[in-house]
Amino acid sequence: MTVVERKVEEEEGGYKMKVETIEESDDKLVLVISKVTPGFVNAVRRSVINEVPVLAIEKVFISKNSSAMYDEILAHRLGLIPLITPSGYSYDKRDAPANQVRVTLKKQGPATVYSGDLEFSDPEVKPVFDNIPIVELLNNQEIELEAVAIMGKGREHAKWSPGIAYHKNYPKIKIERNCKAAVDACPK
């Protein structure tokens, strides 16, 4: 978009943004946003990362931990496990018991403890990926803990970021003359 085009759109009352969905799945969304400035797209990206509320483990109460991992590191790892956040949880009333999810974990070694081993009071809440390793337990080692997941936003802590978002500029390619020879020379 040229400076002249931006000026005309600003005078006409705003941008004529165009959004095209390229790919959409349960864990990925690819969009092409055109006819806006890179600054606008960056603002959208930052809003997704910082302002979308999601559940994350915030409080951890460890009753047994005979693993080699310190309690603080274990609690930190639990907090960084991304959780599926169903609708119905409120960020505004996140301290209310109805907006909190109880999490339990009890495991004995020898075993690797994975995110899929966590049990949640709400069956709709679960880790985005069940195969995230948390800690390795050797013979006669065990972990027993309770935790609470609450709503939060990425601006408070990275554990509440709903995902990653990035943008890149696409080059504008304009073919001014017949380039059949160049097209034929390119491998398919």
| Cβ-based neighbours of 12, under 8 Å, separated by 6 or more | none
Pairwise CA distance, residues 149 & 133, whole Å = 19
Q: Is 80 contained in some domain?
A: yes
Look up tokens 């679960």; give the residue: 126
Distance of CA 167 to the CA centre of its chain: 15
- Single-letter amino acid, residue 16: K
Per-residue pLDDT reduced to its tens digit, 160-188: 988 888 888 877 777 767 777 777 777 76
Residues 146 and 85 in one domain: yes
Residues 115 and 169 in one domain: no
pTM: 0.76
Q: Report pLDDT for 165.
A: 84
The residue among 80, 81, 77, 59 whose CA lies nearest residue 135 is 77
Q: Report pLDDT for 27.
A: 80
Q: Report pLDDT for 17.
A: 84
Domain of 115 in residue numbering reads as 54-160
The residue among 130, 108, 110, 109 whose CA lies nearest residue 119 is 130
| Number of domains present in the structure of the chain | 2
Please identify every stretch of the chain with a pLDDT value under 50, giving residue numbers as ranges.
Answer: none
